[in-house]
Chain A
Amino acid sequence: MTEMVYGAAPDRGGEPILPKWWRTLDKWSMSCVLILFVIGLLLGLAASPPLASRNGFDPFHYVERQAFFGGVAILAMLLTSMMSPTLVRRLAVLGFLVSFVALALLPFLGTDFGKGAVRWYSLGFASLQPSEFLKPGFVVVVAWMFAASQEINGPPGRLWSFALCMAIVGMLVMQPDFGQACLVLFGWGVMYFVAGAPMLLLVIMAGVVVLGGMLAYSSSEHFARRIDGFLSPEVDPTTQLGYATNAIMEGGLFGVGVGEGQVKWSLPDAHTDFIIAVAAEEYGLILVMMIIALYAMIVVRSLLRLMRERDPFIRLAGTGLACMFGVQAMINMGVAVRLLPAKGMTLPFVSYGGSSLIAGGIAVGMLLAFTRTRPQGGLGEILRGRG
């Protein structure tokens, strides 16, 4: 009746984009990301000159590149975070299709840069790692499928997404890139967990993993030796892990001082996989604790915000993105402190690397878009009921 007399209720969609974005954004998380990026630049100043001098560039060549790519990444993050979930979904699905094809074509068109695994496209001025861009797209697609399967008369999205997941894991293992494969598998698992995996299945899976591990430990001498070596308190001081451990010990609480560190000269991956060791040596425990706190804050805050979300797609996609982001950071730091077996994994936003930086920016932008405050329950229902 009211509509017939007074016309439609005023649409709040007319609110300007920027104020709406700023009002609903998770400003804390975004600040954390920006701080992380600054820390990454700071550590790049310390960690990359040895590499630059080895490769015959000016000392800060890599820092400049990092700053450039970082700028692009932040721009991408801001733009993405302004999009509506639907738009994010559409673009992400398109992006996923493109990167999926790119991943599939890697064995024919990619290069391995002499590192033994074909993971990159060489673009002349930069290299591109499709699996980095695949991950956020994959999360969105899987979330979409899960959400669709929960609708009335929905398609069997779990099965589809599982098949997709296995296909990607297979391609990654063939490269071989076990780290990314694990990450993709983990992302799917987390989303399945939140989407309501049966409790029994979870218990059985946990049992199988524990049992399998024990079986492998007792039956395979090779496996047992690796685990024992990993568990033993002694570490060979001439391995990467040995250098990293030593660097963390040297650093102590306040570090040995800016530019005074030694580990960057001996570790080939000081600017990527072991950047946390450089941080620990030069700036000490303080900075490391701050980095850990920033990551923890982004992940935990995002998850807590998603708890209020009623839309299953947004909830799942946000969960997947946040968990992948968190786990990647955790694995990188866990390796350096020898909580986890050695595995090459970059520290998001802090490690040097063009594709990983831009892809990380897009992923976090999506996460921010999903965690924006939205009308939930009560009020939204009333508004919809009017239509």
Chain B
Amino acid sequence: MTRTPLRPLARVLEARAKGQNPAAIERENIHKRHEEMRDSTRARAEGRLLVLAAFFFCAFAVVGTRMGVMATAEPREPIASASGASIATQRGDIVDRQGRILATNFETHSLYAQPPLMVDPMAAADGLVQIFSDLDKDRLVKDFTGKRKFLWIKKRISPEQKQAVHDLGDPGLLFGPREMRLYPNGQLAAHVLGGAGFGKEGVSAAEVIGVAGVEKKFDTYLRDPANGAKPLQLSLDLTVQAAVERVLFGGMKIMNAKGASAVLMDVHTGEVISAASLPSFDPNDRPRPPTSGFDPSDSPLFNRYVQGVYELGSVYKIFTAAQAVDLGLVNSNTIIDTSGPMRIGRFPIGEFQGKNYGKLSVADIIVKSSNRGTGRLAIQIGGKRQQQFLDGLGMFDPTPFEIVEAAGGKPLLPKKWGELSTVTISYGHGLSTSPMHLAAGYAAIANGGNYVSPTILKKTGAQYGPRVMSNNAAKQARAMLRKVVTSGTASFGEVPGYEVGGKTGTADKPKPRGGYYDKKVIATFASIFPMSDPKYVLVVTLDEPSILAYGEKRRTAGWTAVPVAAELIGRVAPLLGLRPKVEQPDPAAIRLTAN
């Protein structure tokens, strides 16, 4: 709208000449414009008001319709489970590689009270105390007679207890169905399974959530109703696991160790067939985590094979030897001078019990476990290449093993990787890793040089990762490992028919405030069997073992971890379906009997 005031002087004069009042004319103009504006805005508002009226009419109609639909619907009994609709029950089962149950669900009941409905609170409290000895009677009476309208009494009760409470006959004592997690095998594979607890709770249902192990790692999968019928299949073998835990427990007791762990891994797939950490616990009744101030490894919840990050000692030597062969620096017969003294900076590098081996072949360096020998090899390899190699074996990151605790097993690396670190790490000191890391490293040697990542899920076919060393290097390393058992530090490891090869490692335990204990060691034996066609890696670790043998306190792995490992292999190999290799019968003898 353009303004047309009567401003121009010409028009004002014209109006004056005609005897008109210019002010009145201007007022008239403005009034006219005002009226026009009102009409135009009314035209627009009319449409919008109509829209509003239609909106309100429709909205009220919808409310009315809905009211009608609800009122004419058949009234039905309120469904008791309605409030639990949002709580997904039926957590998926967990089974071993043969489909045997490791974890399943079990229907129980919870017990709660609604005091306003109670007939005789005193009698109810009396009866409850007789059924559940851990309840406090005064407390119950106070709750029942107070203002509370609802209270939980027991989260889970057995069918017998339920019947007993039912027989009390008080209408204020009520039961809610509860699905609980059941581990029928008790302590078996406790650290893998972890455990489960209740999450969101309602009267008629409670959410079961994983709190540790695979239960937590695969919580969303297990809770997803879409996977309902399909259980989570693990790579564990129930029978093997049982045998491993039994034998390891016996070995731990004989060797007076405070803890022990064993990892049995398929070298081609990375599947963990058995993993045990002692002392153990019952996932059906998971203990509380230790309060601060204790060494976490004292708790049974501590998972030694992934969280037990220690310097594992001489078991690392084979990696140094294998890399030296792989790089073409040496072969297993190359002679290395291991005589001392040897110093890196101001640190002397010594041998076990101050021995001096003189000139040794590379194979004999492994067999005799010479620190100076591997140190010299490592200096030839160089720190950079050593780091690349160990990184390739996964020694620098937490293992990808699929239980939540594995992420906590982060290797401890030297802050600065100097020449001293290169030398000490070549024989397994200065780099702390878990037994699971070690098992993966040995699997690479066993399968011909391919990295495999440790897994708890069942796989089919070889699962090779990137190649970390040549087949030839792996083969020579295996020959050295075999020699360690036949004529070296692990001579107790021989199991007739199963051609065990492996390397021992004995490392002093670090003190919490720096330095090392004198007489506390971690004894490790990492083994591969059968050597002619490697199938499995077994890493056995004993925490602070000591045994009296031939009049001496012995702590080294050769006296402690190795015999336990040998017993394990002898027990487990038949369960794994391995045939003992028997000596070839003399062809002549066959001919003789044929005649």
A residues sitting closer than 8 Å to B (CB atoms) are 150-152, 190, 193-196, 225, 228-229, 232, 234-238, 242, 245-246, 248-253, 280, 284-285, 288-289, 292-293, 295-296, 299-300, 303-304, 306-307, 309-312, 315, 319, 323, 326, 330, 333-334, 337-339, 377, 381
Contact = CB atoms under 8 A, between A and B. Distances in A.
B83 A152 contact: no
5 contacts: A229-B86, A285-B68, A293-B64, A304-B50, A310-B38
B67 A248 contact: yes
Interface stretch (B74-82, B348-356, B375-383, B458-466): B74-82
Given A296-B60, A300-B53, A310-B42, A234 B85 contact: yes
Interface stretch (B18-26, B28-36, B392-400, B512-520): B28-36
Given A237-B78, A300-B53, 13 more contacts: A150-B41, A196-B41, A232-B85, A235-B82, A237-B82, A251-B71, A280-B67, A289-B64, A292-B64, A296-B60, A307-B50, A319-B52, A330-B59
B107 interface: no
B71 A288 contact: yes
Contacts of A310: 38-39, 42
B49 A306 contact: yes
Given A190-B52, A296-B56, A310-B42, A280 B82 contact: no
A289 B71 CA distance: 11
B42 A309 contact: yes
Nearest to A377: B39
B59 A280 contact: no
Interface of B: 30, 33-35, 37-39, 41-42, 44-46, 48-50, 52-53, 56-57, 59-64, 66-68, 70-75, 78-79, 82-83, 85-86
A315 to B, nearest CB: 6
Q: Is the interface of B mostly helix, strand, loop or mixed?
A: helix
B42 A315 contact: yes
Contacts of B73: 249
Contacts of A377: 39
Contact of A295 (B60, B62, B83): B60
Contacts of B74: 249
Given A196-B41, A299-B56, A303-B56, A246 B71 contact: no
B38 A326 contact: no
A158 to B, nearest CB: 14
Contacts of B70: 245, 248-249, 337
B513 to A, nearest CB: 45
Contacts of A285: 67-68, 71-72
Given A292-B63, A303-B56, A280 B49 contact: no
Given A248-B70, A337-B70, A225 B86 contact: yes
Nearest to A306: B49
A323 B52 contact: yes
B30 A289 contact: no
Contacts of B49: 194, 303-304, 306-307, 315, 319
Nearest to B33: A152
A284 B60 CA distance: 18
A224 to B, nearest CB: 11
Contacts of A381: 35
Contacts of A236: 82-83
Given A152-B34, A237-B82, A303-B53, A195 B67 contact: no
B76 to A, nearest CB: 8
A296 B64 CA distance: 10
Q: Is the interface of A mostly helix, strand, loop or mixed?
A: helix
B14 to A, nearest CB: 24
A151 B34 CA distance: 8
Contacts of A319: 49, 52
B50, B60, B72, B75: which has the most chain A beta carbons within 10 Å?
Answer: B60
B82 to A, nearest CB: 4
A333 to B, nearest CB: 5
B42, B45, B50: which has the most chain A beta carbons within 10 Å?
Answer: B45
Nearest to B64: A292
Contacts of B41: 150, 196, 312
Contacts of B78: 237, 242, 246
Contacts of B42: 309-310, 312, 315
Contacts of A304: 49-50, 53
Contacts of A242: 78
A152, A300, A303, A338: which has the most chain B beta carbons within 10 Å?
Answer: A303
B72 A252 contact: yes
A315 B42 CA distance: 9
A160 to B, nearest CB: 19
Contacts of A246: 75, 78
Nearest to A232: B85
Given A152-B30, A242-B78, A339 B66 contact: yes
B83 A315 contact: no
The 5 lowest CB-CB distance pairs between A and B, nearest first, are A237-B78, A296-B60, A303-B53, A285-B71, A236-B83
Contacts of A303: 49-50, 52-53, 56
A289 B74 CA distance: 19
B71 A249 contact: yes
Nearest to B66: A337
B72 A292 contact: no
B68 A289 contact: yes
B83 A296 contact: no
Contacts of B60: 292-293, 295-296, 299, 326, 330
A241 to B, nearest CB: 12
A329 B127 CA distance: 53
B485 to A, nearest CB: 56
B53, B78, B86: which has the most chain A beta carbons within 10 Å?
Answer: B53
A251 B421 CA distance: 84
Nearest to B69: A337
A193 B52 contact: yes
Contacts of A152: 30, 33-34, 37
B46 A234 contact: no
Nearest to A332: B63
Contacts of A288: 64, 67, 71
A229, A253, A300: which has the most chain B beta carbons within 10 Å?
Answer: A300
A225 B207 CA distance: 15
B214 to A, nearest CB: 24
A319 B79 CA distance: 45
Nearest to B77: A237
Nearest to B65: A337
A155 to B, nearest CB: 16
A295 B57 CA distance: 10
B56 A333 contact: no
A325 to B, nearest CB: 10
A284 B71 contact: yes
Contacts of B62: 339
A13 B546 CA distance: 117
B53, B62, B71, B85: which has the most chain A beta carbons within 10 Å?
Answer: B71
A327 B64 CA distance: 14
B471 to A, nearest CB: 51
A232 B83 CA distance: 11
